[in-house]
Structure 1
Amino acid sequence: MPWLKPAVEYGPLAVFVAVYFSQGLMPATVALMIATVIGVGMSWLVTRKVPLMPVVTAVIVLVFGGLTLWLNDENFIKMKPTIIYALFAIVIGGGLALGKSVLKKVLGHAVSMDEAGWRSLSVRVALFFAAMAVANEVVRHVMTTDHWVLWKMPGSLIITLVFMMAQGPLILRHQLDQEKT
Structure 2
Amino acid sequence: MTPRPEQKTPKKDSEQSVAAKLLIEIGPLLVFFGVNAAYGIFAGTGAFMVATVVSLSLAWWLYHKVPVMPLVSAVIVMIFGGLTLYLQDESFIKLKPTIVYGMFAALLLAGLATGKHLLAFLFGPVLNLTDEGWRKLTVRWAVFFVLMAVLNEFVWRNFSTDIWVSFKAFGFLPITLIFAMAQVPLMQRYGVPEENGSD
Query: Which residue is 1:52 aligned to?
Result: 68
Structure 1 residue identity aligned to 2:27: G
Structure 1 residue identity aligned to 2:74: A
Distance, in Å, in 2 between the alignment partners of 1:128 and 1:44 is: 28
C-alpha RMSD over aligned residues:
1.7
- Structure 1 residue 138 and structure 2 residue 154: aligned? yes
Distance, in Å, in 2 between the alignment partners of 1:55 and 1:162 is: 23
3-state SS in 1 of match to 2:127: coil
3-state SS in 1 of match to 2:192: coil
Query: Which residue is 2:118 aligned to?
Result: 102
Distance, in Å, in 2 between the alignment partners of 1:48 and 1:175 is: 29
Give yes or no for contact 1:43–1:50 (8 Å, CA) kept in 2: yes
Q: Unpaired runs of 5+ in structure 1?
A: none
Distance, in Å, in 2 between the alignment partners of 1:26 and 1:145 is: 11
3-state SS in 2 of match to 1:32: helix
The number of residues matched between the two structures is 181
Query: Which residue is 1:128 aligned to?
Result: 144
After superposition, give the CA deviation of every residue in 1:33-81 in whole Å (9 maximum; x if it has no partner): 0001111222233333333333322211111111111111110010010
* TM-score for both structures, normalised by structure 2: 0.85
Give yes or no for contact 1:68–1:76 (8 Å, CA) kept in 2: yes
- Structure 1 residue 175 and structure 2 residue 196: aligned? no
* TM-score for both structures, normalised by structure 1: 0.93
Moved beyond 4 Å, runs of 4+: none
**1:175 offset after TM fit, Å?**
1.3
Structure 2 residue identity aligned to 1:58: A
Query: Which residue is 1:158 aligned to?
Result: 174
Structure 2 residue identity aligned to 1:158: P
Greater CA drift, 19-28 or 70-79: 19-28
3-state SS in 2 of match to 1:111: coil
Q: Unpaired runs of 5+ in structure 2?
A: 1-15
**1:152 offset after TM fit, Å?**
0.8
- Structure 1 residue 24 and structure 2 residue 40: aligned? yes
Greater CA drift, 9-18 or 74-83: 9-18
Distance, in Å, in 2 between the alignment partners of 1:167 and 1:54 is: 21
Identity %: 47
Greater CA drift, 13-22 or 53-62: 53-62
Give yes or no for contact 1:37–1:58 (8 Å, CA) kept in 2: yes
Distance, in Å, in 2 between the alignment partners of 1:160 and 1:52 is: 17
Which structure has the bigger radius of gyration?
2
Distance, in Å, in 1 between the alignment partners of 2:67 and 2:173 is: 21
